[in-house]
């Protein structure tokens, strides 16, 4: 009878081992599924945050370019006005060129 009891105990232990192995496989599959879902959620959140930041930076860049162009146009117009309002002293220029190029006084 003792042999039969040992056999039953061993069969029961093998059954428990099989059950434990099955639980481990199921738990690993569940863990893998949760990790995968977590990665997908994190990727989606990252993509959304990245897209929002890119849009903000693009808007700021366009505004900065527009401000720089406006400032450039303003400075260019001021320079053109200063050139247009300036007087040309041809006699002084001719005298300077003669002295520099020809060495005349």
Pairwise pLDDT comparison (57 vs 105), residue with the higher score: 57
Asked if pLDDT for residue 1 goes beyond 70, the answer is no
Kindly provide the b/e burial profile for residues 65-101, where b requires at least 16 CB atoms within 10 angstroms of the residue's own CB: eeeeeeeeeeeeeeeeeeeeeeeeeeeeeeeeeeeee
Residue pair 30/22 in contact (Cβ under 8 Å)? The answer is no
Domain count of the chain? 1
Q: How far apart are CA 87 and CA 93, in angstroms?
A: 12
pLDDT in tens, 36-48: 999 999 999 999 9
Alpha helices in the chain (DSSP H): 2-85, 90-97
The predicted structure's pLDDT at residue 42: 97
Residue pair 104/98 in contact (Cβ under 8 Å)? The answer is yes
Question: Which residues span the domain enclosing 56?
Answer: 2-102
N-term to C-term CA, the chain: 138
pLDDT in tens, 81-96: 998 888 888 899 888 9
Rg of the chain in Å (alpha carbons): 43
């Amino acid at each position: 009878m003792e042999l039969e009891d040992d056999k039953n105990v061993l069969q029961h232990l093998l059954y428990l081992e099989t059950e434990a192995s099955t639980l481990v496989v199921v738990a690993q599959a569940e863990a893998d599924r949760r990790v995968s879902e977590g990665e997908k959620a994190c990727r989606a959140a990252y993509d959304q945050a990245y897209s929002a930041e890119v849009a903000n930076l693009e808007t700021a860049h366009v505004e900065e370019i527009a401000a720089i162009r406006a400032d450039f146009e303003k400075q260019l117009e001021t320079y053109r006005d200063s050139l247009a309002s300036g007087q040309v002293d041809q006699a002084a220029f001719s005298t300077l060129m003669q002295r520099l190029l020809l060495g005349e006084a």
